[in-house]
Amino acid sequence: MKCRLRAKTGRYQAMPGMERTAITIMMDIQYFAPRTLDDAVRAFAAASDGARILAGGTDLLVQMRAGTVSPGTIVDIKKIPEMTAIEEIAGGGFRIGAAVPGAVLREHPKLSKVWPGVVEAANLIGSTQIQGRATTGGNLCNGSPAGDSVPAMVAAGAIVTIQGPNGRRELPVEAVPKGPGRLNLTPGEIVVGFTLPPRPKGSSDAYLRMIPRTEMDIAVVGCGVSLTLDKGTCTAARVGLGAVAPTVLLVEAAAKALIGSKLDGWALEKAAVACSAACRPIDDKRGTIAYRTKIASVLLKRTAAIAAERAGRM
């Protein structure tokens, strides 16, 4: 079959005076929608280099149209029940399939109560149309340092289940990205889902991002905080920072500054300084190094305040 990935974006070619040379890529492209994870792993591993996993497709289809990727095989994982389910597990944790879109996370009756930060982060991605499709698995596997759901998942202490030709393994979510667009997965491995741990009483989380407008933009800085309060004292905390380094960061020094404190000004200031110190950002059109570094500290304080306020109600 002829697959004209470039030619298909040819709206410019139709404009007079803007003719471009059509680059026609000749290749076979195959689409699979397996019903089981084992079939998906087999199809993905067999196709290897030229294969892409399709979850919501909101990154993949854009990349295919732009010609930055041209997969020979597309493995659609949305027909696999395990990938599209949200399950409550023993003890009060949740298992979220990699292909669950943000809108489905939001509509779940319990998830927003226990993990409001994870749900709000996933639902900051794109428009209503995008939220009906875009998934947390895709957000992680796209490998962008600015993916909104990832810092919230890092703060939540999510464990990622991965399945490949050599079986199943688990990784903490912060260990999955390797760099922009690159993952610590071996060939043929697929992200199956996320496990969110059970929460003690007095726990909650929050996610905030800084964008120059109010909606539909990419984070200049994103900050996720998850914490547990016992009589006003913070007994557990995790902090995730996005868009300030080649990968989303787990900022342990910031969490350490919060744990044991009453989240007073001094503790928040120490955690904020730790966030700025962890930043290794780039300058680009969305924000400078200095701006991102400063904003990371501001967002830590605001996000921690929201998480604490929510935790106080739990």
Match 């787990």 to its residue by tokens: 250
- Assigned token pair, 81: 């029940």
Region of 71-79, 153-161, 232-240, 264-272 interacting with another protein (CB under 8 A):
71-79
Regarding 61 and contact with another protein (CB under 8 A), the answer is: yes
User: DSSP string of 152-221?
Assistant: HHHHHT-EEEEEETTEEEEEEGGGSEEETTEES--TT-EEEEEEEPP--TTEEEEEEEE-SSSSS---SE
Regarding 3 and contact with another protein (CB under 8 A), the answer is: yes
Residues 188-247 within binding reach of another protein (CB under 8 A): 215-216
For another protein, the closer of residues 67 and 246 by Cβ is 67
Region of 7-15, 199-207, 286-294, 305-313 interacting with another protein (CB under 8 A):
7-15
Residues 41-74, buried b or exposed e (16+ Cβ, 10 A)?
Answer: bbbbbebeeebbbbbbbbbbeebbeeeebebebb
Among 35, 65, 169, 182, binds another protein (CB under 8 A): 65
- Best CA proximity match to 137, nearest among 205, 194, 206: 194
Regarding 146 and contact with another protein (CB under 8 A), the answer is: no
Residues 74-103 within binding reach of another protein (CB under 8 A): 74, 76, 78, 103
Regarding 5 and contact with another protein (CB under 8 A), the answer is: yes
| CA separation for the pair 256, 36 (Å, rounded) | 42
Region of 122-130, 199-207, 221-229, 301-309 interacting with another protein (CB under 8 A):
122-130
Regarding 292 and contact with another protein (CB under 8 A), the answer is: no
Regarding 285 and contact with another protein (CB under 8 A), the answer is: no
- What sections of the chain are H helices per DSSP? 5-8, 37-47, 60-66, 81-84, 102-107, 111-114, 116-122, 128-131, 136-141, 149-156, 252-258, 265-278, 289-313
**How many residues bind another protein, per CB under 8 A?**
32
Residues 9-28 within binding reach of another protein (CB under 8 A): 9, 11, 28
- Best CA proximity match to 314, nearest among 131, 167, 172, 117: 117
Regarding 298 and contact with another protein (CB under 8 A), the answer is: no
Among 40, 43, 45, 54, binds another protein (CB under 8 A): 54
The amino acid at 246: P
For another protein, the closer of residues 57 and 157 by Cβ is 57
Among 7, 69, 85, 130, binds another protein (CB under 8 A): 130
| Contact call for residues 204 and 306 (beta carbons, < 8 A) | no
| CA separation for the pair 33, 230 (Å, rounded) | 47
Region of 120-128, 185-193, 277-285, 302-310 interacting with another protein (CB under 8 A):
120-128
- Assigned token pair, 226: 């998850």
| Contact call for residues 99 and 55 (beta carbons, < 8 A) | yes
For another protein, the closer of residues 103 and 305 by Cβ is 103
Interface residues with another protein (CB under 8 A)? 1, 3, 5, 8-9, 11, 28-31, 33, 54, 57-58, 61-62, 64-66, 74, 76, 78, 103, 126-130, 132-133, 215-216
